[in-house]
Chains A and B, each alone.
Chain A
Amino acid sequence: MSDNNSNPNSRRDFLKIGSLIGIGAVAAGAAGYAGFAAQDGKEGHAGEAETALSDSEKKIKVLTEDGQLAEIKASELSPVQKDEYTSALQEQGREGIPGKHWVMVIDLARCRNVRACMASCQNAHHLREEQHHINVLRMQDAEHTEPYFMPKPCFHCDNPPCTKVCPVDATFKRQDGIVLIDNERCIGCRFCIAACPYSARVFNWFEPKNEEEDQDLLYNVELNVPQKKGTISKCLFSADRLREGKLPYCVSACPNGVYYFGDLNEDAVTNGTSGETTRFSELIRKNAGYTLLPELGTKPNVYYLPPKNRMFPFEFNGKTTLEDEHHG
């Protein structure tokens, strides 16, 4: 216990790993120690210890890796090394969540450029102001068509050009469809930036924003925090939130119901604002949903509903038309 108090980082690390093996809730009180490191065999002597209540003899409840609740002498707990946490996180991060095929639907008719999605995303991933995992673009399809706002995350393509070119498998596609980045392996060649036709990737050209505060944080590949200088970052579909059964940061932050998120295998998507769940196939069919630049063959997992029957008129910087901006 005393060890724990003197080292707040280990508690933070511990909490991060909590969701990994489900020990969070039970063992949080004991804190600082990972329960699955408990040695077997000593548990049988539980009764003897009841009389002596010195700190070292105190019993604590822990949850083992396979979900068994167990008791152990506090003195016999040994902390799991940071490296082991990291590799456990890496392992589950690379594997993904079995049986899922995540999909996002963005309703362009409802977007009015509030950018709550961008803010919550940058906040969650400790991004600098100019780094966007999700970026709300001002689009106009042809000269005489109406401009509209288009939030653009990573499309987590089923035929991802970025993972193909990575020379070290630092960016990879996992079984639930999410394309992740391992910034502890990335060599910073930026081939993936060149390969991505949607400009979805950003690079840490300098020290990341929270470089000092984050330096003791355990690296979570599903959150890509802490960010690291000289490596890539990008939208992760909030893989860390999905593991907790929650919706992505951007999806829940939107006040206007722009985002739906869900599982293609269940054919169900949930609106992040209203919380309503609808059939994905029906939503796409009824509203003529589409994917961006389908001719490139990337097979995106983000679908758009066209900006018809708009809830808000287009307005940006007080103008209702799109200025002649840099088209790239």
Chain B
Amino acid sequence: MSESLSKEQAKKLVDKYAEDAIRPMKNHKGFLPWMGFLGLVMVVFGYAYYIQLTEGLGVTAMRDYVSWGLYISNFVFFVAVSLVGMVVSAVLGLAGQKWVKPITRVSEIIALGFVMVAGLVIITDMGRPDRFLNLFMYGRLQSPIVWDVTVITTYVAISTLLFILPLIPDLAFIKKKMKDMPVWQYQLYNILSLGWIGTPEQYKILHKSIRMLSIIIIPVAMAIHTVTSWLFASTLRIGWDTTIFGPYFVAGAFVAGTAAVIIVMYILRSNYKLQDYFTDYHFDMMGKLLVLVSLLYAYFNINEFLVPAYKMKTGEAVHLHTLFQGVYAGLFWVVQIIGMGLPIFFMIFKHWRKPNNLTFIAVIVLIGAFLKRYIIVVPTLLHPHLPIQNVPEEFHHYFPTWIEMAVTAGAFAMSLTIITILLKIFPVIPMWELAEEKGITEEFEKYD
């Protein structure tokens, strides 16, 4: 970094950045089939949701006791994944971890894709979505739902800014560089680049704003998932009535989000030849990060399950028996051991932090994270303080119907669509930041 590159080398490097950043935005043979697939899933979603709207929430498997099910666990999962934007671009960035530079934009895109859909997911759970505006007309500050709506909206806003601001120099660059783009795209870049001409003064303002947003987003991100955990912790239910839920959820979110970033990094790297940006070193570091956050999460899990299991209070005992050796034991142990324990163990070894292996682990961790939300939501509701009696047999169980699964798949399709489109429209490689690191900002700005 310190040794200055010759003019020629610098130009070559900028050339390479431009080429690599623009390549994923060009047409790709897999793009249309992929979008077609996502579109198809969303059509099925539309059909399923239409049935739910006309016939009522009864088309789900939810009933008066398990009154929250897959939809709410989806919501928690989507919020959890979106937290990664904050971890990578704010926490690691502020901590001076230079290696995260190429990953910041990917993680912001994932954050946006998931947090935007989280808001929609919660609507799919509403009995009267037609009265959504009541939240604003009659909103009461006492209710954690209102807090959630508030912080998630704020997080969407700040995340969007934190995505758009660091794009400015790159968009100004691409505007000059990409000749064959349609008019709307040019206009978009033109507007979003805000008349950027790359003066030192502009750089100074940009750095300052990014830094400020990085600081602001930390408490907001903590808040979205803490408040989401309070949807449960603020009740008197056995299994939810615990003080540890805030940090427990936040730690779990770090795990889910880091895994998601690793997967998207891998897809970008192998589809668009971006090995020079998402290098083995980056996977190695992300693997170490995943070990760190998983250990943190494991620590909270031990506290969450071992302490009540030691005491075995009446209600807790019933709940824990269901998890440890009852109906949910299979799922519980799979999630805890395969989804958390074994990944930690394997990732300690360097071999398992290589791109292919690490991505494999990340997929398992992400699936585990999804199932974990389900385990947090459902079993607790099956064990209220008073017995479930004089109701039909189906009230004693819960397993999602095809409608719930279709709506879930639709939510994922929406997130992936947002992520795909953002990756198509915007350069995923933060060119100016890399140029800055190499000390060739001047060449980058003067490039034509």
Contact = CB atoms under 8 A, between A and B. Distances in A.
Contact of A188 (B64, B127, B231, B385): B127
A64 B381 CA distance: 51
A229 B57 CA distance: 9
Contacts of A202: 64
Contacts of B138: 168-170, 185
A135 B146 contact: no
Interface of B: 55-58, 62-65, 67-68, 125-129, 131-132, 134-135, 137-140, 142-146, 149, 231-232, 234-237, 318, 381-392, 395-396
B237 A197 contact: yes
List the 8 shortest-distance A-B pairs measured between CB atoms, nearest first.
A188-B127, A230-B127, A205-B58, A167-B145, A167-B143, A206-B58, A168-B138, A197-B236
Contacts of A291: none
Interface stretch (A38-46, A82-90, A136-144): A136-144
B127 A186 contact: yes
11 contacts: A137-B387, A137-B389, A139-B387, A168-B137, A169-B140, A186-B131, A188-B127, A193-B64, A195-B236, A197-B384, A229-B127
Contact of B395 (A130, A137, A186): A130
Contacts of A65: none
Contact of A187 (B55, B135, B384): B135
Contacts of B62: 205
Contacts of B127: 186-190, 203-204, 229-231
Instruction: Decide if the interface of chain B is mainly helix, strand, loop or mixed.
Output: loop
Contacts of A137: 386-387, 389-390
A202 B395 CA distance: 12
A241 interface: no
B128 A188 contact: yes
B55 A206 contact: yes
A194 B56 contact: no
Contact of B63 (A138, A205, A293): A205
A191 interface: yes
Interface in A146-180: 152, 161, 164-170
Given A130-B391, A165-B235, A166-B143, A187 B134 contact: yes
A198 B385 CA distance: 7
Contacts of B65: 199, 328
Contact of B56 (A138, A165, A230, A293): A230
Contact of A326 (B58, B139, B396): B396
Contacts of A126: none
Interface in A294-328: 296, 298, 325-328
A155 to B, nearest CB: 11
Instruction: Decide if the interface of chain A is mainly helix, strand, loop or mixed.
Output: loop
Interface of A: 118, 130-132, 135-139, 152, 161, 164-170, 185-191, 193-195, 197-199, 201-207, 229-231, 292-293, 296, 298, 325-328
Given A130-B395, A164-B143, A205 B57 contact: yes
Nearest to B380: A194
Given A137-B387, A230-B127, 17 more contacts: A136-B390, A137-B386, A139-B387, A152-B386, A164-B142, A167-B139, A168-B137, A187-B126, A187-B129, A187-B134, A190-B127, A194-B67, A194-B237, A199-B384, A199-B386, A326-B388, A328-B386
Nearest to A152: B386
Contacts of A131: 64
B57 A187 contact: no
Nearest to A118: B390
A185 B382 CA distance: 28
Nearest to A198: B386
A199 B382 contact: no
Contacts of A195: 234-236
A231 B146 CA distance: 18
Contacts of B143: 164-167, 191
Given A167-B139, A191-B231, A328 B384 contact: yes
Contacts of A164: 142-143, 234
Contacts of B128: 186-188, 230-231
B3 to A, nearest CB: 59
Given A190-B127, A194-B67, A206-B58, A328 B383 contact: yes
Contacts of A165: 142-145, 234-235
A296 B235 CA distance: 10
Nearest to B230: A165
B70 to A, nearest CB: 14
Contacts of A205: 56-58, 62-63
A167 B387 CA distance: 28
Contact of A203 (B64, B149, B235, B237): B64
Contacts of A166: 140, 143
B61 to A, nearest CB: 10
Contacts of B382: 328
Contacts of A206: 55-56, 58
B385 A293 contact: yes
Contacts of B137: 168
Nearest to B240: A194
B139 A168 contact: yes
A250 B395 CA distance: 24
Contacts of B318: 327-328
A160 B126 CA distance: 22
Nearest to B394: A130
Nearest to B134: A168
Contact of B68 (A190, A293, A298): A190
Contacts of B392: 130
Nearest to A115: B390
Contact of A135 (B57, B125, B389): B389
Contacts of B139: 167-168
Contact of A201 (B64, B131, B149): B64
A138 B62 CA distance: 24
Contacts of B125: 189-190
Nearest to B389: A137
Contacts of B386: 137, 152, 198-199, 292, 328
B235 A161 contact: yes
A190 B57 CA distance: 11
Contacts of B134: 168, 170, 185, 187
B126 A188 contact: yes
A147 to B, nearest CB: 11
A298 B241 CA distance: 14
A195 B132 CA distance: 21
A206 B234 CA distance: 28
A190 B232 CA distance: 12
A139 B390 CA distance: 13
A113 to B, nearest CB: 10
A194 B381 contact: yes
A201 B387 CA distance: 14
